Amino acid sequence: MLPNLNNIFQKSRLINSAVLLLIAILQPPTSAQAQTFSTEQIKPYFNGYTASLVIFNTKTGKLFTYNPANCETRYSPCSTFKIFNSLAGLDTSVIKNENHSFKWDGTKYDRPECNRDQTLQTAVSNSIVWCFQEIASGVGEERMKKFLQASHYGNEDITGGITKFWLGSTLKISAIEQIEFLKKLLNDELPFSNRSMAIVRGLIRLEISDKGVLYGKTGSDMEKGKGILGWFIGYVVHPDQIYVFAANTQAEDGASGPHTKEIVKRIFTDNNLL
């Protein structure tokens, strides 16, 4: 039986309204003020890395870029592509909803959390690659390519193969382009159903504090066992404004999504936004 879309949309609106009401109640008045950022302020956070950081304030329309040239440089999206992959899977009915189940085939992976059955929610939260390889295979090259082109996602290149084009392979996207993608996700402006976008926004909710709600997804790339790239993209929701962000770090070793996430969280926390 197909889900009642009106019920899904109503539930999503109620959840979002409740979250914003909770923030409004708990949030100190001063933390709602728009924050400004500067290169001098941000530079120490990325010590030891080549990095990009873009922050867009939806209320003021101001865009901050740290290391602007690098913000325009395209890199593999790695596991940040799980956001797009989930949208494509939902819109093609390859997956049903956040509770869609994936059966582990017994292949042993380095991370223990990979070695079990998954739902879509756990696959996103724990960044389970094999689940999204299954999704991409179900979507197929033709439909995936059309979605990428309609979304203007990075260089739209999937020639690296349907199960790995986003994993340090042919698909590339810049931090600036990640911001544009997230803005469209927030505003229901991507070429996917409102239902799919509402579900995916819920999938990437990470934490709620008395300052705001953090949404996001990490991504990491390795070469010869060394961490060479880390992503953290997402947004921080406040009652009257949203900060959309995309950050990446590069290094000969030690760059990763989790490290980049911690840097971004420190920046927002130190600026009284988390």
HEC-encoded secondary structure of the chain: CCCCHHHHHHHHHHHHHHHHHHHHHHCCHHHHCCCCCCHHHHHHHHCCCEEEEEEEECCCCCEEEECHHHHCCCECCHHHHHHHHHHHHHHCCCCCCCCCEECCCCCCCCCHHHCCCEEHHHHHHCCCHHHHHHHHHHHCHHHHHHHHHHHCCCCCCCCCCCCCCCCCCCCCECHHHHHHHHHHHHCCCCCCCHHHHHHHHHHCEEEECCCCEEEEEEEEEEECCEEEEEEEEEEEECCCCEEEEEEEEECCCCECHHHHHHHHHHHHHHCCCC
Give the mean pLDDT of 19-46.
Answer: 67
* 259 is a domain residue: yes
* 257 is a domain residue: yes
Q: Which residues are catalytic?
A: 79
* 28 is a domain residue: no
- Counting the structural domains of the chain, the total is 1
* 108 is a domain residue: yes
* 17 is a domain residue: no
Asked if pLDDT for residue 11 goes beyond 80, the answer is no
* 239 is a domain residue: yes
Q: Can you give the CATH number for the domain in which 119 is found?
A: 3.40.710.10
* 235 is a domain residue: yes
- Read off the pLDDT of residues 190-228 as tens digits, 9 standing for 90 and up: 999 999 999 999 999 999 988 899 999 999 999 999 999
* 5 is a domain residue: no
Query: Among 31-40, 73-82, 127-136, 234-243, whose mean pLDDT is lowest?
Result: 31-40
Asked if pLDDT for residue 27 goes beyond 70, the answer is no
Give the mean pLDDT of 3-14.
Answer: 46
Residue-range definition of the domain harbouring residue 121: 36-270
